[in-house]
Structure 1
Amino acid sequence: MKSNKPSLILRSFNGLKVIKKKCPVSLTSTPPAKAKNNVEHFQNPESEQGLFEEAMADVTPLARDADNEKKLIIKEPAAPVTVSDDPTAEVISRLTNLVEKGEGFLVSQTPEYMEGIGYNVKPEIAERLHRGDFALDAHLDLHGFNVEKAKEVFDFFLKEAIRTGKKSVLIVHGRGLSSPEEPVLKTKVREWLTRGFWRKWILAFTSARPCDGGAGATYVLLRERPYAKRLGKTRND
């Protein structure tokens, strides 16, 4: 009995024509496109470099900035500040800072501090003067002078300071710690600033900060022109 299954055996090349007509599929052999071997790109450093250069072809590199590079430096965190519970240690620490660095010492809170303001001058001016808000234009050192010579040098110094437009000056007179009673030159400087001829030229004066001599020196703020007394005031005002 004959089988109904179609035969797949080709008897001759002529049978190819029949199959070709029945099957519209092209028998032309076309090799499939080769898939890109992506694994190679991850395993081969040369391929990775090539991909990177291709991707960055249109990118313009930024100019190196030394300042910006410095800003990127990561600093180690500062050590935490420890607070001692021992009051004795705290006192010793403050005394050490006072002796070595002058920290915690206010000249204005000592008996040696002196301050004065001129006519119609607000007290805030003296505070600013002592704080150092006015840059020093000149200074005079009276160390080594007796009172008579110191007065002569003092007068000449202030005269020249006013003539040349100086506004803030420093007068170093010492603290007078070797004097048996009060400091001689320091007391005289205060007297010269508050009495007589120079009184009308003074806006304010204060003891200096520690960095400029402390109680052993005096800041003086000068007027541009002498103060003119108003009518009605006596000569002793």
Structure 2
Amino acid sequence: MTAPLFPLTFNPFENIAVSVSKKSAALPPAAGDSAAPKAGRGDRFLDVEAERRQFLDAMRREGVKPLDEGRSDVGAIGRSPAAALCPPDNGASEAFMSLRKLVEMGEGFNVSETPEYMEGTGCSVPSSYAWRLHRGDFSIQAFIDLHGMNAQEAKTAVDAFLKEALAKGKRAVLIIHGRGLSSRAEPVLKNSVRARLTSRAWKKWLIAFSSAQSFDGGAGATYVLLRERPFSGKSAKRRGN
């Protein structure tokens, strides 16, 4: 029976002890330590205790004093643990809580403080009416959703909706048009609604309009407050006299 071409066992670390022993013998002894390396394991591994003694001797020569054991401020040299671990708050906690409430529950978000907010009033109407409308002083009695329409379709739908509201005696209504964020240049439906409300045909019927609050659509919807009768400049002058 012939011997196998390859051995059946594999021992890649067979000669590592001899290699390490040769390298350790070639290294010069550490400065200030005349003690010879120990036999056995000392031939292959550094003498940790000898290194510790060398380190302590070097620190003593440099005048370095060890810290007292048990001190709690180790690692915070030059400052107290409170300064290192607990810097001044400066209102950061309150700001974080406000941000968390805004993200999780929508608290603290004011549509009127965003660039998307819009409002306006009719002829001879104080601007405070627009703010009161946005604030919710008037109950909404009807609404229309313009999503899916183009500008011309929205104009026709708004005209029909407002005429029906007047005919039924509804004064406060809601027009949902979307924010128009997907439009390439500008919010098409939103601008179409604003243009229609400020047109000559409807401004005389208008008391005020404003962007809705967030629960009614925010900047993607508009409150409208209508008059009972169209504004007449002549009648206003007579009342003034």
State whether TM-score is above 0.5.
yes
Q: Determine the structure 2 residue equivalent to 1:101.
A: 105
1:170 paired with 2:181, answer no
Mapped to 1, the partners of 2:90 and 2:164 lie a distance apart of 55
Q: Note the aligned Cα RMSD (angstroms).
A: 2.0
Q: Determine the structure 1 residue equivalent to 2:70.
A: none
Partner-residue secondary structure (3-state), 1:203:
strand
Name the amino acid aligned to 2:95: V
1:227 paired with 2:204, answer no
Report how far residue 116 of structure 1 moved: 0.3
Partner-residue secondary structure (3-state), 1:230:
helix
Query: Given the two structures, how large is their TM-score scaled by the length of structure 1?
Result: 0.59
1:156 paired with 2:160, answer yes
Q: Percent identity?
A: 58
Partner-residue secondary structure (3-state), 1:140:
strand
Contact 2:211/2:220 (8 A) holds in 1:
yes
Q: How does 1:18-37 map to 2 (within 5 A)?
A: none
1:199 to 200, 203, 225: 203
Q: Determine the structure 1 residue equivalent to 2:17.
A: none
Q: How does 1:1-237 map to 2 (within 5 A)?
A: 85=89, 87-230=91-234
1:64-113 Cα distance to aligned partner (Å, 9 max, x none)? xxxxxxxxxxxxxxxxxxxx936444333222211222111111111111
Name the amino acid aligned to 1:156: A
User: Which structure has the larger Rg?
Assistant: 1
How many residues in Structure 1 have an aligned counterpart in Structure 2? Answer: 150
Report how far residue 228 of structure 1 moved: 1.0
Mapped to 1, the partners of 2:199 and 2:157 lie a distance apart of 17
1:121-162 Cα distance to aligned partner (Å, 9 max, x none)? 112211110100100010111111111211111111000000
Name the amino acid aligned to 1:207: S
Mapped to 1, the partners of 2:90 and 2:217 lie a distance apart of 34
Mapped to 2, the partners of 1:104 and 1:213 lie a distance apart of 16
Contact 2:146/2:175 (8 A) holds in 1:
yes
Contact 2:210/2:224 (8 A) holds in 1:
yes
Query: Given the two structures, how large is their TM-score scaled by the length of structure 2?
Result: 0.59
1:150-195 Cα distance to aligned partner (Å, 9 max, x none)? 1111111000000000000000100000112211100110000001
Mapped to 1, the partners of 2:163 and 2:219 lie a distance apart of 24
Mapped to 1, the partners of 2:103 and 2:227 lie a distance apart of 37
- Structure 2, unmatched stretches of 5+, are 1-87
Mapped to 1, the partners of 2:102 and 2:145 lie a distance apart of 25
Name the amino acid aligned to 2:225: L
Report how far residue 120 of structure 1 moved: 1.2
- Structure 1, unmatched stretches of 5+, are 1-83
